[in-house]
Amino acid sequence: MALKNKAILLELKAIMKMRPNKKKHKGKAIISKDKSKIGKAIISFNDETGFQCIDIIMISNTAFTYKTFRRDPEDQTGWFPSGEAGDLYASKEAAILAAEEAIDWFKA
């Protein structure tokens, strides 16, 4: 059991380094620098400006997290991590609730 949790934590650390390369990346595999699939964005929420978003990411059937991204209007290369990331949660609902508590502009 401990080895499985360690593997999930290592995957989560890799997620912190991820960078989606598509404007609309919901449902796309999130890819790390070494190009291995480490999670999948299953829900994406944008703020009212369209320049910030939160992805709910499924790491496994029992591990979820969230990560915030931003895009700049003058830079058309896509979304960039903006620093806020959640812990591991047992469900997507728990990840959404944690994101609502942590991020001022976000209310699902």
For position 13, what pLDDT does the model report? Answer: 57
**DSSP E strands: which ranges in 1-108?**
29-31, 37-46, 52-60, 63-70, 80-85
Q: Tokens for 23?
A: 């404007």
Encoded amino acid at 62, one letter: T
Task: Give the C-alpha separation, 89 to 92, whole Å.
Answer: 7
**14-18, 24-28, 34-38, 43-47: range with highest mean pLDDT:** 43-47
The pTM of the whole model exceeds 0.85: no
Listed by start position, the domains of the chain span 2-102
Task: Output phi, psi for 12, to 5 deg.
Answer: -65, -40
Give residue-wise pLDDT tens across range 35-94.
344 788 999 999 998 899 999 999 988 899 999 999 888 877 888 888 888 999 999 999
